[in-house]
Amino acid sequence: MNKDNLKDDKFIQVKNLKKYFKVGNNAILKAVDGVSFNIKRGETLGLVGESGCGKTTCGRTVLGLYGATEGEVLLEGTDIHKLKGKEKKEFTKHAQIIFQDPYASLNPRMTVGDIIAEGIDIHGLYTGQERTERIYNLLELVGLNKEHASRFPHEFSGGQRQRIGIARALAVEPKFIVCDEPISALDVSIQAQVVNLLIELQNKFGLTYLFIAHDLSMVKHISDRVGVMYLGTMVELAASGELYDNPLHPYTKALLSAIPVPDPDVENSRNRIMLEGEVPSPINPKPGCRFVARCKYAKPICSEQRPKFKEIEKEHFVACHLFNDK
Site residues, ligand SF4 (CB under 6 A): 250, 289, 291-292, 295, 297-298, 302, 307, 320-322
Residue 42 to residues 6, 120, 224, 292: CA-CA distances in angstroms? 7, 23, 10, 36
Is the CB of 130 or the CB of 311 nearer to ligand SF4? 311
Q: Tell whether the torsion through CA atoms of 250, 251, 252 and 256 is positive or negative.
A: positive
CB of 235 to ligand SF4, least distance (A): 7
Q: Quick count: other Cβ atoms within 10 Å of Cβ 58? A: 28
Contact assessment for residue 208 and residue 6, using Cβ atoms and an 8 Å cutoff: no
| CA gyration radius, the chain | 21
Is the CB of 68 or the CB of 234 nearer to ligand SF4? 234
CB of 211 to ligand SF4, least distance (A): 25
CB of 312 to ligand SF4, least distance (A): 12
Is the CB of 207 or the CB of 318 nearer to ligand SF4? 318
Is the CB of 113 or the CB of 307 nearer to ligand SF4? 307
Residue 131 to residues 125, 128, 228: CA-CA distances in angstroms? 8, 5, 41
Is the CB of 316 or the CB of 321 nearer to ligand SF4? 321
CB of 280 to ligand SF4, least distance (A): 12
CB of 273 to ligand SF4, least distance (A): 12
Nearest CA to 216 among 207, 206, 226, 202?
A: 226
| Residues 309, 35: Cα–Cα separation, whole Å | 9
Is the CB of 163 or the CB of 321 nearer to ligand SF4? 321
Partners of 285 in beta bridges = none
Residue 160 to residues 144, 173, 193, 261, 299: CA-CA distances in angstroms? 8, 20, 10, 29, 50
CB of 281 to ligand SF4, least distance (A): 17
